Amino acid sequence: MPECAIAVDVLRATSTMATVLAAGGEAVQVFSDLDKLIQVSESWPLEKRLRAGERGGAKVPGFDLGNSPLDCTPETVKGKRLFISTTNGTRALQRIQNAQTVIAAAFINRGAVVKFVLEKQPETVWIVGSGWEGSFSLEDTACAGAIAHGILQKTNLSVDEIAGNDEVINAIALYCQWQDNLLGLFHHASHGKRLLRLECHEDLKYCSQSDTLDVLPIQKEPGVLKKY
Ligand code: 3SL
C-alpha cells in the first residue's frame, strides 16, 4: 500500500461524496455489498442516515438515493451519514482502505486534492481510477492526469520526477488534450454514454466542472470518509 491512495470515480461516486461532505453531510460510509450496507446502517438513527445505492447506473429500489450528486443538497444531507454502495467507486475505496491516507477525488474537488498532496508530501501516491467493472475509463484517467498536472504546475518538479509509471504520463496527456472540454470527453466515454442513456445529462455537466468545491473527503476509519 502507498502512503497516500486517491480513489477517483468522476462519474459519479467520488463526485457525489465530495458534494455530500460540502453540503454538510456528517460522513460517507462505503460498502461493496448492499446487504452489509443495510445491516450496518440499521444501527444508525433513522433521522441521521441516508441509504444510497447504484447498480448499472440506476438507483437501487428501496434506497433513499441513487448516486446523483445533484440530489445531495444541504436540505437532504445536512448532519446525516450517507451509507453508499455503487458499482465501482465504493469498491475502489474498499480496495485501498489499508493505505495510511485515503482520499476521494473528482474534478470538482481536484484543487483541494492537489493542495493536500503538496502540503503533506507523501512519499508514494497511488491515483486509483475506478473504471467500469475492471476496465479503463476515460474520465477517471483524465482526472488522474488533472491531479498530476496540478502538482506539476505548482512545483518545479519535472514529469519524470513525479511519474511512477507510463500511465501517469498518459493521463496527463489525456487531461491536457481535453481540459477545456471535459464534458465533450464524457460524451465519448462509455460510462458517459451509459449515463446519457439514463438521462443524466445534468450529472455529466455538474461532474465536468473543475475546482468548484473546496472539500477533501478523507478516510477516518476503514470505509468512513469525512471532511478534512
Ligand atoms: O460505478 C460507480 O461507482 C458509479 O459511480 C457509477 S454511476 O455513475 O452511479 O452509474
CB 145 less than 6 A from any atom of ligand 1: no
Q: Per-residue pLDDT tens for 52-87?
A: 999 989 999 999 999 999 999 999 999 999 999 999
Q: How far is the C-alpha of 226 from the C-alpha of 217, rounded, in Å? A: 5
Ligand 1 atom 10: residue of nearest CA: 57
Average per-residue pLDDT for the chain = 97
Give me the DSSP letters along 103-146. EEE-GGGHHHHHHHHHHH--S-EEEEE-TBTTB--HHHHHHHHH
Q: What proportion of the chain, given as a percentage, has pLDDT over 90?
A: 99
pTM to 2 decimal places? 0.97
Asked if 192 and 204 count as a contact pair (C-beta separation under 8 A), the reply is: yes
Which DSSP state fits 44?
S
Q: How far is the CA of 118 from the centre of ligand 1 (A)?
A: 29
3-state secondary structure (DSSP) of residue 69: helix
Q: Per-residue pLDDT tens for 127-169?
A: 999 999 999 999 999 999 999 999 999 999 999 999 999 999 9
CB 88 less than 6 A from any atom of ligand 1: yes
Q: What's the Cα-to-Cα distance from 156 to each of 20, 119, 127, 224, rounded to whole Å?
A: 34, 15, 21, 34
Q: For residue 146, what pLDDT is reported? A: 98
CB 85 less than 6 A from any atom of ligand 1: no
Q: Per-residue pLDDT tens for 14-63?
A: 999 999 999 999 999 999 999 999 999 999 999 999 999 999 899 999 99
Amino acid in position 138: L
